[in-house]
Amino acid sequence: MIIAIDGTTASGKGTIAKRLAAHYGLPHMDTGRLYRATAVAALKAGIPLDDADALANMARTLDLADYQEAELRTAEAGKAASVVAVIPEVRQALFELQRAFATQDLGALLDGRDIGTVIAPDADVKLWIDASVEERGYRRWKELRGQGEDVTLEVVIEQLRVRDKRDQSRKDAPAEMAVDAVLIDTTELSIEAAVEKALAAVEAALARGNRT
């Protein structure tokens, strides 16, 4: 079974993905980490974020074990990830890795922006997780403050708007809901309620799939 979970930044997508993967015993890939690690590698090496060939080379030779979770989670890494993710050569370099993960015999759950549309259009279940930009901004702001970053809520919300726009308007594999995905809006939901809703949506999609 392949489960594709896409959605916007700070929508709850990551938490839902982890919980569903554990529930169904599926190997899980957070594909945003690939873009974040590519961006962090480039920043460390002083490679400009528009040097397509050098960035694609970084992406191809990426070893995720070289990166600490904390350095991948900073606001700077997220922003740079969104910038390098626009480059088709980078997406191409990361495609095979994700596709191979999605099609392994054990089944898989992947979360990202283009899983249901590009990486695994054949997924058994597709979810799109979203929430209002104000609520997502508030969640991200709390997280960043917890990490000691000194930033205002207004700035975080504005950064999310910019990031959403860049992810959704890029030409190659824009972040968008697959036509056969189920939308889950977590704006008013606690984490537990969002996970429950996602689980119910997966069960319903599986039941529908079994009937056809």
Please report, as ranges, the residues that interact with ligand DC according to CB under 6 A. 9, 31-32, 35-36, 78, 81-82, 85, 112-114, 163, 167
Q: Residue 131 in contact with residue 8, Cβ under 8 Å?
A: yes
Nearer of residues 13 and 197 to ligand DC, judged by Cβ: 13
Q: Which is nearer to ligand DC, 113 or 197 (CB)?
A: 113
Closest separation in Å from C-beta 57 to ligand DC: 18
- The dihedrals phi and psi of 128, each to the nearest 5 degrees, come to -120, 115
Instruction: Give the sign of the dihedral formed by CA 131, CA 133, CA 136, CA 138.
Output: negative
Nearer to ligand DC by Cβ, of 135 and 167: the residue is: 167
Q: How far is the CB of 151 from ligand DC (least distance, A)?
A: 16
Secondary structure (3-state) at 110: strand
Classified as helix, coil or strand, 141 is: helix
DSSP state of 181: P
How many other CB atoms are found less than 10 A from the CB of residue 106? 8
**180 or 203: whose CB is closer to ligand DC?**
180
Least distance in Å: CB of 191 to ligand DC?
Answer: 17
Token pair listed for 50: 């528009």
Q: CB of residue 36 vs ligand DC: minimum separation in angstroms? A: 6
Distance between the two ends of the chain, CA-based, in angstroms? 16
Residue written as tokens 């191979």? 100
Nearer to ligand DC, 78 or 182 (CB): 78
Closer by beta carbon to ligand DC, 48 or else 207: 48
Q: C-beta of 3: minimal distance to ligand DC in Å?
A: 14
- Cβ atoms within 10 A of the Cβ of 107, count? 16
Kind and range of the H or E element at 152? Answer: none
- Closest distance of CB 33 from ligand DC, Å: 6
Dist. CA 89–CA 34, nearest whole Å? 14
For residues 11 and 129, is the Cβ–Cβ distance under 8 A?
Answer: yes
